[in-house]
C-alpha cells in the first residue's frame, strides 16, 4: 500500500460498513473498495513528509472533521485546524503535484535571472545554468515534497479560517468525493468578495466557505440544488477517481455528463 494523497479518515466519511464505491473516469467503470486501497501511490513522498502530514495536518483536524459531520459547534481552534487541512489537501493531491511541477520552468527562469548575474566566476555560472536546465527538463519530485512544508502558507489558512462557513447537511448519502475535492473558481481564488470554496467531508455533509458581511448559521439542511452544485464542483475537479458511499443509477450519468459548475453562490 502506498502513501495516501486523500486521507483515509476523509474517505471513511463516504463508506458504509467500511467499504465505498469508486468510479474510474479513465476506465468508465465502478468498483468496490476500501479507503486503505484507493487514493494512494507508492513512493509518493518520503517518510518525513508523511510524519509531517500526520502530526501537523491530519491529526489536529480529525476531531474538527467529526464535529462537522455530527452537526456540532466548531471552536476557533477547530477552524484553524480545518483551514490548514483544506489548504494542504489542495496541494497534496495529484492535481496539486502537476500544478506545482508545471510552474517550475517559470520559477526556474526567474531564479536564473536573479542568481546568475550575482555569481563571481564563469565556472559557477555554467554550473548554475546546467543545474537550472536539468530541473526544467526533468523536475524532481523532491521539489514538490519540500514545497508542501516550506510553503505552508499561513495567509491561505488565515483567509479560509476568516471566511463565513456553512455546512450543508443531507439525510441520505448524497455527496460525492473525488481525488481533488477542494474546489474554488480559479479566476476568483479565495480572497475576493465573490470567492466560494467547497469541500465534502462526508456523504451527508459538505462545507461551503464564502466572504459574507452577515453571520450565517453553521449547520443547515441542504437544498437539492445545493447538493447538485457541490457535486458538480467536486466532479469538475476530479483527475481520475470519484468516491461514493452508494452506487445509484443517477450517479454514472451525472459523472459522465460533465456539467459545468455554476458561478452563482450556493447560499
Residue 135 has a pLDDT of 77
Whether 174 is covered by a domain: the verdict is yes
**% residues pLDDT > 90 (the chain):** 67
pLDDT category, 124, cuts 50, 70, 90?
confident
Residue 100 has a pLDDT of 85
**pLDDT surpasses 60 at 261:** yes
pLDDT category, 116, cuts 50, 70, 90?
confident
Residue 162 has a pLDDT of 93
**pLDDT surpasses 90 at 181:** yes
pLDDT in tens, 237-248: 999 999 999 998
Which residues partner with 150 through β-bridges? none
Residue 267 has a pLDDT of 67
Whether 56 is covered by a domain: the verdict is yes
Query: Structural domain tally of the chain?
Result: 1
Q: In sequence order, what E strands does 78-211 have?
A: 164-169, 177-178, 196-202, 205-210
Whether 175 is covered by a domain: the verdict is yes
Q: Is 112 exposed, middle or buried (0-12, 13-18, 19+ CB in 10 A)?
A: middle
pLDDT in tens, 2-41: 899 999 999 999 999 999 999 999 999 999 999 999 999 9
Whether 122 is covered by a domain: the verdict is no
Whether 115 is covered by a domain: the verdict is no
Whether 190 is covered by a domain: the verdict is yes
Residue 20 has a pLDDT of 98
**pLDDT surpasses 80 at 111:** no
CB under 8 Å, gap of 24 or more: what pairs does 52-59 form? 52/148, 52/149, 53/88, 53/92, 56/84, 57/84, 57/85, 57/88, 58/7, 58/9, 58/85
Whether 179 is covered by a domain: the verdict is yes
Taking a C-beta distance cutoff of 8 angstroms, is the pair 235, 178 a contact?
Answer: yes
Question: Which range of residues forms the domain containing residue 68?
Answer: 3-104+144-257
Amino acid at each position: 500500500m502506498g502513501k495516501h494523497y486523500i486521507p483515509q479518515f476523509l474517505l471513511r466519511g463516504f463508506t458504509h460498513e467500511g467499504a465505498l464505491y469508486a468510479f474510474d473516469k479513465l476506465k468508465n467503470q465502478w468498483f468496490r473498495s476500501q479507503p486503505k486501497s484507493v487514493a494512494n501511490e507508492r513512493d509518493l513522498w518520503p517518510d518525513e513528509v508523511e510524519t509531517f502530514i500526520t502530526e501537523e495536518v491530519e491529526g489536529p483536524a480529525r476531531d474538527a472533521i467529526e464535529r462537522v459531520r455530527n452537526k456540532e459547534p466548531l471552536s476557533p481552534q477547530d477552524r484553524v485546524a480545518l483551514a490548514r487541512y483544506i489548504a494542504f489537501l489542495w496541494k497534496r493531491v495529484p492535481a496539486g503535484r502537476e500544478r506545482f511541477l508545471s510552474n517550475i520552468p517559470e520559477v526556474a527562469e526567474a531564479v536564473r535571472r536573479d542568481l546568475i548575474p550575482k555569481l563571481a566566476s564563469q565556472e559557477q555560472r555554467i554550473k548554475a545554468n546546467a543545474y537550472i536546465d536539468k530541473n526544467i527538463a526533468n523536475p524532481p519530485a523532491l521539489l514538490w515534497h519540500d514545497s508542501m512544508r516550506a510553503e505552508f502558507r499561513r495567509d491561505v489558512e488565515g483567509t479560509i479560517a476568516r471566511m463565513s462557513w456553512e455546512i450543508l447537511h443531507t439525510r441520505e448519502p448524497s455527496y460525492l468525493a473525488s481525488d481533488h475535492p477542494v474546489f474554488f473558481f480559479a479566476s476568483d481564488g479565495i480572497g475576493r468578495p465573490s470567492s466560494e470554496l467547497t469541500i465534502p467531508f462526508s456523504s451527508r455533509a459538505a462545507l461551503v466557505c464564502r466572504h459574507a458581511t452577515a453571520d450565517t448559521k453553521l449547520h443547515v439542511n441542504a437544498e437539492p440544488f445545493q447538493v447538485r452544485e457541490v457535486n458538480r464542483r467536486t466532479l469538475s475537479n476530479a483527475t481520475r477517481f470519484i468516491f461514493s458511499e452508494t452506487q445509484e443509477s443517477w450517479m454514472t450519468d451525472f459523472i459522465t455528463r460533465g456539467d459545468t459548475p455554476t458561478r452563482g453562490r450556493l447560499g
